[in-house]
Structure 1
Amino acid sequence: MNTSSYQEHIATLQARYAKAMQHFNLDAIVLASGQKTYYFQDDHTAPFHAYSGAQQWLPFTLNTDTYLIIQAGQKPRIVWPIRDDFWHAPNPVPAGEWQDEWDISPARVDDKWFSGLPQKCAWLGPQPQSFAQTIEGLNAYVDFSKAVKTPFEINAMRLATERAVKGHLAAKEAFLAGMSELEIHLAFLQASQQTAAQEPYPGIVGVNEHAAVLHYEHKDINRSARPLTLLIDAGANEHGYASDITRTFVRHDDEFSALVNSLDTMEQHLASSAMSGVDYRSIHQEALVGIAHILHDHKICRLSVDEQMAKAIPQVFFPHGIGHLLGLQVHDVGGFQIDELGTTRKDENSPFLRLTRTLKKDMVITIEPGLYFVPMLLEKMQADIPQHGCDLELIERFKPYGGIRIEDNIVVKDDLPINLTRNAFGQ
């Protein structure tokens, strides 16, 4: 860990929270990591992910029942859970220089660690407790600033990206060797050094037609007799910070691989436009125009770009948004906010777009155009759009390939953005 970078990170968070406490007339804020949740009528717990507002402060993966106390002008305090438990592994306080920035208070579950808190104290996180207030608007106030990342956070996401890229390269080799979706996923996990429960989101591994299912949730154990396409959307974590990467790999140099190359070129162009001051919605609109060009250039649709846009043809093949904020959550918070007060803005013409803000320096975003051959959407197009101009015979040839998505993680800058993903792939 870079100590000076972490010190600057803590100072930035303290300034943000001091501003929030002043705005809401508070003396302290308690951040709770959260507690275990159990499956219905079972003693087995769901995988735990700490509340992002608490995780943001620590340089390691935060566990359950941990509390942070933030007070203006004071060193932050962490209440560390002592577990008298012989069923599970011990839970020692992680060693390291990070401790210099904290007051550490070990506490058992029945300790009254909160007894000395000031009266004007707010709670952020799950399972609010009666000793602290839940303040309307406080969540939105602190969420808005999370979109702009500190150097410490950006470095964590760079490390998460590098681990995920190792997994993607291993997945590619497994696919080219004819492995099943499950085997491909296991190759990804091994190379990225994580278990499935540690992934920032369940990895998507779709071979052939499964690549047309946007959030394909299965892992087929059977090997395909004729593998054509692999779409893998999978990331890694670095103490809570996520990478979110998608690649589409093919086995043959054919008309579908030409489509992949065109989308890859378009994706890189879109990524290079992610600069401060740019309305993210305009990047989404540019992506739709780009899809229309690809459909026309590859003779999938004979209509002009303007005619396609008027009839919403690109949305048949690219039905989701161009991307989202990335950070402690894969779809990071505050994507629709336009101010600290929680005012939101959605794009009625793009209902699945998860980010509608104007980009600022050091935001981290994804750029992820796709082009899919989804039977349901194609059938709807034929039923609802007269004179759609699409070559249905060519589309039938493409259906066995499923679809394409290419996704990079981008650090917004004032001029040329930083493409964490391409840097990690070395391209």
Structure 2
Amino acid sequence: MSKLSTLYPAHVAELQIRAKNALKRDNLQGIVIHSGQELKVFLDDLSYPFKVNPHFKHWLPLVNVPNSWLIINGEDKPTLIYYQPTDFWHKVIELSNNYWNEFFDIKVLSKASAVDQLLPYDKKGYAYIGAHVEVAQALGFDSINPDTLLNYLHFHRAYKTSYEQECMRLSNSIAVKAHKAAKAAFFDGASEYDIQQAYLKASQQTESETPYGSIVALNENTAILHYTALERSVPQVHRSFLIDAGANFHGYASDITRTYSYKRDKFAELISRMDQLMLKAVDGLQPGKSYVDLHINTYRDIANVLHEFDFLTVDAATAAEAGVVSTFFPHGLGHHLGLQTHDVGGFMADERGTHVNTPDNHPFLRTSRVIESEQVFTIEPGLYFIDSLLSDLKQSKNGDMIQWENVDEMRRFGGIRIEDNIIVHQSHNENMTRDLELD
């Protein structure tokens, strides 16, 4: 933790500057950030797993403490209202002495409903940031999640401090270790469910602690982009395996995907070729360049792969121009990564929140923003054999552009996606995932 403690003061100082600038723009006195509260299951006394407000965990590494609050004005030491009830039903997370404590004026709250005694009395100049609008209204806040304030904060959140970058390296380290365990389980012939258990055991995180539900898919299931069914039975034969899974460290996400073939076959060759394509796309992450252009260039590169492997009856350029590639690559190249798996600010041209539209023929892009240093991205090109999309293409005017016999041969393998997590520096790209020897 020594490196984190060294980097943390500059992180808080940067957030203070951002808060001060945002408050000045909106003529506000301060920001009150609510960590959130547990949500009850409908008609039940059970709660969903708690997910903390990302604006709250931006300031300090508390991800599992509901009913807590931050009061910030950009100049004075922020106030942390830390919820620590007396409770014999549940384990109470007691306030610990850590590297971040000295940067906050900490007040312990024992009863959630008594928080108004610790919040500013006159809330007219304070903006509430959080999910629970009804709570904010009951407490007397008039300014609740104002767009201008959120736009400023979201735009600047794309620039990761050195502290944040280190948290993301550690998040990748956890996930890479777990990915290696999942890979071993696949080649040992395990089921999807058992592979997932191997992943979680190696990561030492529960399903609710990981940043998103893991995609653990075998054979044809790898063609389902957000597959989470986790079949318990072992398939008769193992052909292919796709795992899209991450980890959390202090609230910062990693998001890594790998695809494997059980044998050294044509699908394995296709995976290797897509890996080369993916690393080329990583090299294209350069400050000042357009992420949209990078996506389009990769789209054309996938057309080349389709041509190389005899999936096309036309040249790659013709297939790309006709939009045929979208059947095999129906999603965007990647996205911003940080406090959230799909981090905010990806479509913003400026701090006012001016939206940068994506091209009409590439509607599923998750970012359209210009690439800049200190931003963190995923790069995740894919190539899939999805029955429904192939059926639509076969019946379309472009159906004769496909070598259907060769494509049909690959349906049983499902699809390929390979994803790394990249920090863009001014002089180079840092591939956090590959640096940890995951290939």
TM-score with structure 1 setting the length? 0.98
Partner of 1:371: 383
Partner of 1:136: 147
Per-residue Cα deviation, 1:162-215 (whole angstroms, up to 9, x for no partner) = 110111111111000100000000001111111111110000000000000000
Q: C-alpha separation between the residues in 1 aligned to 2:15 and 2:231?
A: 44
For 2:147, what is the secondary structure of its paired residue? coil
Partner of 1:97: 99
Q: C-alpha separation between the residues in 2 aligned to 1:138 and 1:240?
A: 22
Q: C-alpha separation between the residues in 1 aligned to 2:121 and 2:104?
A: 17
Per-residue Cα deviation, 1:276-322 (whole angstroms, up to 9, x for no partner) = 11100011101111110000011111311211112111111000000
Partner of 1:390: 402
For 2:59, what is the secondary structure of its paired residue? coil
Partner of 1:55: 57
The one-letter code matched in structure 2 to 1:57 is W
**Superposed displacement of residue 14, structure 1:** 0.4
Per-residue Cα deviation, 1:215-272 (whole angstroms, up to 9, x for no partner) = 0020000101110100000000001100000000111111111100100000001011
Partner of 2:183: 172
Candidates 368, 374, 377, aligned match of 1:356 = 368
Summarize the alignment of residues 7-22 of structure 1 with structure 2, pairs less than 5 Å apart. 7-22=9-24
For 1:123, what is the secondary structure of its paired residue? strand
Within the alignment, does 1:290 sit opposite 2:301 as a pair?
Answer: yes
Q: C-alpha separation between the residues in 1 aligned to 2:104 and 2:226?
A: 40
**Superposed displacement of residue 424, structure 1:** 1.3
Q: C-alpha separation between the residues in 2 aligned to 1:326 and 1:228?
A: 31
Partner of 1:236: 247
For 1:110, what is the secondary structure of its paired residue? helix
Partner of 1:120: 125
Partner of 1:410: 422
Q: C-alpha separation between the residues in 2 aligned to 1:333 and 1:192?
A: 26
Moved over 6 A (4+): none
**Superposed displacement of residue 426, structure 1:** 5.5
Moved more, 127-136 or 241-250: 127-136
CA contact under 8 A between 2:18 and 2:74: conserved in structure 1?
no
Q: C-alpha separation between the residues in 1 aligned to 2:72 and 2:284?
A: 38
The one-letter code matched in structure 2 to 1:382 is K
Q: Alpha carbons of 1:48 and 1:110: their partners in 2 closer, same or farther (altered >3 Å)?
A: closer
Within the alignment, does 1:109 sit opposite 2:112 as a pair?
Answer: yes
Structure 1: where are the runs of 5+ without partners?
A: none
Summarize the alignment of residues 24-423 of structure 1 with structure 2, pairs less than 5 Å apart. 24-107=26-109, 108-111=111-114, 112-116=117-121, 119-128=124-133, 129-130=136-137, 131-132=140-141, 133-134=143-144, 135-347=146-358, 348-386=360-398, 388-423=400-435
Moved more, 241-250 or 127-136: 127-136
Moved more, 315-324 or 116-125: 116-125
Candidates 3, 6, 21, aligned match of 1:4 = 6
Q: C-alpha separation between the residues in 2 aligned to 1:251 and 1:274?
A: 32
**Superposed displacement of residue 346, structure 1:** 2.2
Aligned residues: 427
**Superposed displacement of residue 118, structure 1:** 5.6
% same residue:
37
Q: C-alpha separation between the residues in 2 aligned to 1:157 and 1:298?
A: 36
**Superposed displacement of residue 68, structure 1:** 0.3
Q: C-alpha separation between the residues in 2 aligned to 1:320 and 1:405?
A: 11
Q: C-alpha separation between the residues in 1 aligned to 2:127 and 2:62?
A: 24
Measured on the aligned residues, the alpha-carbon RMSD in Å equals: 1.3
Q: C-alpha separation between the residues in 2 aligned to 1:244 and 1:345?
A: 24
The one-letter code matched in structure 1 to 2:388 is M
CA contact under 8 A between 1:55 and 1:62: conserved in structure 2?
no
Per-residue Cα deviation, 1:20-52 (whole angstroms, up to 9, x for no partner) = 000001111001111101111011111111110
Per-residue Cα deviation, 1:107-145 (whole angstroms, up to 9, x for no partner) = 232321114456311111111313332233211121111
CA contact under 8 A between 2:182 and 2:198: conserved in structure 1?
yes
Q: Alpha carbons of 1:387 and 1:230: their partners in 2 closer, same or farther (altered >3 Å)?
A: closer
Q: C-alpha separation between the residues in 1 aligned to 2:124 and 2:51?
A: 29
Q: C-alpha separation between the residues in 2 aligned to 1:46 and 1:316?
A: 36
Q: C-alpha separation between the residues in 2 aligned to 1:387 and 1:71?
A: 60
TM-score with structure 2 setting the length? 0.95
CA contact under 8 A between 1:80 and 1:106: conserved in structure 2?
yes
For 1:418, what is the secondary structure of its paired residue? strand
Moved more, 410-419 or 177-186: 410-419
**Superposed displacement of residue 67, structure 1:** 0.4
